[in-house]
Each structure stands twice: as C-alpha cells, then as structure tokens.
Amino acid sequence: MASTTPRAEMSNPPPTQVASSPLQDALKGIQQAVDNAKGHAVFTCGGKIKIGTADDTLPTEDTRPSQGGVQGEAKVEHPKDKEKGNEQPIKGKEDIFTQEQTGGPIVIRYDVQDDLVTGASRKVTLPVENEADSLAALIKCCSPATFGHDGKDVYDETYRKAIKLDNTEFCTTFDPYSVGIVRIIERMLLPNVEGQKAYKRTVRAELYNLNIYSGPSGKFRPHVDTPRSSLQFGSLVVCLPSQHEGGSLAARHDGKAVIYNWWKRASNHIQWAAFYSDCEHEVLEVSSGHRITLTYNLFVEMESVIPKLLPCKLPLHETVEKLVKIKNFMTKGGTLGFYCTHAYAHTSNVPMSQWSLKGIDMAMFYVLHSLDLKPLLRPTLKENFHFYDEFEEDEEDEYDEWESDGENGEPLVPAECRYLENAIVGDELWPLRVRENRGIEGMTMDDGRDWEEHWGLSDRLKVLWLNKRPDNAQVAYAYLAYGNEPGLGARYSNATIIATVPPKRRQDVCTQ
C-alpha cells in the first residue's frame, strides 16, 4: 500500500524553494546590472565636418549636433541581423555621438618616391579639383598596405586590399585636436569620474598611417588592431573628403555593430570614427572611387588637475570689495571701468572674448563677476581733445555723491582723482571702422555726435576707472582728415572691462 510520508516530502523540497544567500543575491544583481549596462555601453563614437563656410551648415532638422543620437549615416546593427546573415544594418538606438561643424580643405604633403632629387615632396588638396591628376600622383607614391599576422607583416589582397603611406612619409594640415574630435573621444570613450580629484584621463592621438582603399574591391576584412602600448585604448579613423562608393566601416563589440556609411557624404565631408582597441572592425568593399583615411592610435594620458582659481580668494577681490562696500558709494548705481593691462586685438574682425583675457585682466574680470557687478568687455576710445565740458556741467549733480558724501564730509572720490571721465565706451566690441570723408584735422571732436554715430557709440558713460590707462591702445577708427593738407586721421581705443554697480547695495557674498 502506497503511503506518503510527510518526512520524505520534507527531505525533497522543490527547487524553487531553495533559499538563496544574500551573497548569491548580490552577485546575481551585479551580473544582471552588467548585462543591462552592456546593452547601452558606448564602444564607438563618430562625427562629420562639412568642408565649406559656416553659412553652408546653418542647423537644420537633420544636421543639428546631437549627443547620443544616431543620425542617418551611422547605424546600429543588432546581433540577430548578423546571425541571419543579414548585413543590412537597421536603425538602432542611441549609442554614438555625432558632431556637425564646418572646416576648410585638407592639404597633404608627401614624399615623392621616384624622384631623383632626394627630399622632394608634392601636395594634394582634398577635396581634389582634378581627381585624375592629383590622386594619381599620390597613389603612385603609396606602397601596398600590409597587416600583422603571427608576428609578421603580411600582404594578402584577399584580406586587405589597400595602399598606404607611413606617418614618416607625409604630413597634413588636418588636426583632430583643433576640430574638437579628440575632446569628443575623451568624453565618450574615456569619461572622467566625479570625485577623481588629482588626475583626469585625457586622450593623445598619434598619427599612424594614410590609407587608400580604391574601387573595385579595396577592403580590410574583420580584424582587431594591435595595441602599440599598454596605454593604447583605441583607434581613430578619419575619412578625408574624396568621392567613393561602398567601403563602409563596421565596428563591432559584444554582438553589436555600428556601421559608418561614409561614402554617402564623402565628396564634401571629413568623417571620423573612434573605437576601443578590442573592437573588431572591418572595411567593406569599395565599389568605386578612392576612400582615403588617416588612422591614429589613441592613448590614455593622466593629467594632473590644477586647482581652480577662486576669484574671491584673490587679493584683488578684497580691494575691489572694499571699494564697493564704502558707505554711500554709488548708492544710485554707477559704472566701474578697468583698462586691460595686456594688449588685445580688440578691434580686429574676430571679436576678442573674455576667455582670451590674460593675467591680471582675467583676474579683474572674474573678481567683478564674483561681486555680481556684471563685467563686460568694451572698447573705450582714447580722448585726444577736451570735449566734454558741456556734458559735465549738465550732469554734474548726478555725481555729487561721489565727490562729497564721504565720511566726515571729505570727498568720497578725491577731486584729484584722475580717472573719473566721461568715457566714450563702445556698445560692443567691433572691428576697426573706416570713414572716407571726415572733418577738419584738429577739430575732429567738435561735431562729436556725428562721428560717434559712425563709430557706433550710443552714449557716453561716467566711469570710475580703477586703474590708469596703459599705453596699449589700438586703432579703432580711421578717417580722412582735412587740415592744411589732407591726411589720414585715426582714433585709438583700449580694451576695457566695464562693470555696473547696481543702485541698491547688496550683500557682498562670496559664492565660491
């Protein structure tokens, strides 16, 4: 007779009821998190730079820069597509970075091999004007591209069909640093960690080769690059502007692939991709044209982090704060001015920026900023003539307080203060202005309003200058002047920092 014994049931509990230990749970959680993270992990990033003027690439719906978005020409392939032998990439999710900007043509100078004269070089500018001639000459100077196999350099066209120049045989005006590529790689592939105080990881890109994959049948089958040192973490491939078809670059990692279809924009774009060293990659067959790439080895470097400058800790901060905190100082508000002590090309076509300020000028800018006095960079004309008497008479009252409201009745700003002026401060930084028919030599200011209009000035300011005008003014306004003889007249301006003291005094808070 069959009987069931509760004891027997107890000795064989169903597997689902096995109690897992906290250690096992924790490890399982970690494994799950790693698996999830893999799905999102970035292993490659890329971008493109249009050859042309900035106006050519005003942002449009499809060309705006985006972080973490796949934009058309680079697509993510999912593992199942590869398993099915389906090489057609499908539009995937956000794991690459695209960059959109403009740049000029690229010049390459290379050694001429078959010349009797040693040291001769030729140059080619990409995109090429006359493809047949200029590329033929370059191609003639390249040698077959080998690859490393079993510790040897081998040439095998079934595996790699390309020609190349070593980095000792050419130089180029293309610089991955100045166009921001290295910075993007740093952020995408070597991000720094919050709390990493003393050092940060930076990227060094070392030019390796110039490669030409030509149609038909130029290719490089799947391979992994050989790291040149333990600090190499990846490779950068830059596709120079040259018309071709096919030759997509596929970068693969952990069952995922990103395909860069550069040929679509090859005629007028520089396009690039970077990937980690352990990523398998492949150049698919080029069907026509010449696919010209520069390859770079990417190394990690540790850079010591220099502590940030704190404006409120600068001795200058204390002195300026002391001024603005004086009782009755500019209670109705006012303007402070500082003449930049270094020379700047502040009247050139490219406006100077606060980021280019040097030494004490930079310190003063940030001290004024930290005191919430809204510093701005402005040109201030150097006065040749005493022209503002009328102005002073009219508006003197407004400034009485500066001169008479000090402690114990003595002037707050002493009468002998030489730096109080009716300053001709430009509304913004602008390039040198030239006027063709201008007034009488020696009398340029009597109809001052007129030329002020031409220089672009809207108003004169009562400025309390914090320092003396240095001798570093630059030509700001040029005009034909008529005196005894016609001549060229010029007015000079200084780069100045103009700050606004608000009407009500505020708590001087140091926020840093």
Ligand X SMILES: O=C(O)CCC(=O)C(=O)O
CA distance 430 to 427: 9
Contact 108, 124 (CB under 8 A): yes
Whole-angstrom CA distances from 314 to 308, 317, 409 are: 12, 5, 32
110 binds, among Fe ion, ligand X, none (CB under 5 to 8 A by kind): none
CA distance 43 to 278: 9
Whole-angstrom CA distances from 140 to 133, 157, 240 are: 11, 18, 18
For ligand X, the closer of residues 281 and 290 by Cβ is 281
Torsion of CA 81, 82, 84, 88, to 10 degrees: 60
Q: Could you tell me the smallest distance in angstroms from the CB atom of residue 280 to Fe ion? A: 9
- Contact call for residue 339 and ligand X (CB under 6 A): no
- Contact call for residue 225 and ligand X (CB under 6 A): yes
For Fe ion, the closer of residues 136 and 224 by Cβ is 224
For ligand X, the closer of residues 296 and 365 by Cβ is 296
The DSSP line for 255-280 is: TEEEEE-GGGGTTTEEEEEEEETT-E
> Which spans of this chain sit near Fe ion (rule: CB under 5 A)?
225
CA distance 492 to 432: 10
What is the amino acid identity at position 242?
S
**Of 234, 215, 216, residue with least CA distance to 225:** 234
DSSP state of 19: P
Q: Give me the helices (H) in 198-305, please.
A: none
For ligand X, the closer of residues 148 and 333 by Cβ is 148
283 binds, among ligand X, Fe ion, none (CB under 5 to 8 A by kind): ligand X
- Contact call for residue 281 and ligand X (CB under 6 A): yes
- Contact call for residue 73 and ligand X (CB under 6 A): no
Site size for ligand X (CB under 6 A): 9
- Contact call for residue 237 and ligand X (CB under 6 A): yes
For ligand X, the closer of residues 211 and 242 by Cβ is 211
Q: Could you tell me the smallest distance in angstroms from the CB atom of residue 279 to Fe ion? A: 9
**Tokens 């001024």 sit on residue:** 323
For ligand X, the closer of residues 237 and 357 by Cβ is 237
Q: Which residue is nearest to Fe ion (CB)?
A: 225
For Fe ion, the closer of residues 185 and 481 by Cβ is 185
For ligand X, the closer of residues 161 and 317 by Cβ is 161
CA distance 499 to 321: 13
Contact 370, 510 (CB under 8 A): yes
203 binds, among ligand X, Fe ion, none (CB under 5 to 8 A by kind): none
- Contact call for residue 290 and ligand X (CB under 6 A): no
Three-class SS of residue 417?
Answer: coil
- Contact call for residue 283 and ligand X (CB under 6 A): yes
Query: Taking CB under 6 A as the criterion, which residues in 244-263 touch ligand X?
Result: 249
- Contact call for residue 214 and ligand X (CB under 6 A): no
- Phi, psi torsion values for 296, nearest 5 degrees: -130, 140
CA distance 382 to 473: 8
- Contact call for residue 293 and ligand X (CB under 6 A): yes
Q: Could you tell me the smallest distance in angstroms from the CB atom of residue 17 to ligand X? A: 54
211 binds, among Fe ion, ligand X, none (CB under 5 to 8 A by kind): ligand X
Q: By CB under 6 A, name the binding residues for ligand X.
A: 211, 220, 225, 237, 249, 281, 283, 293, 295
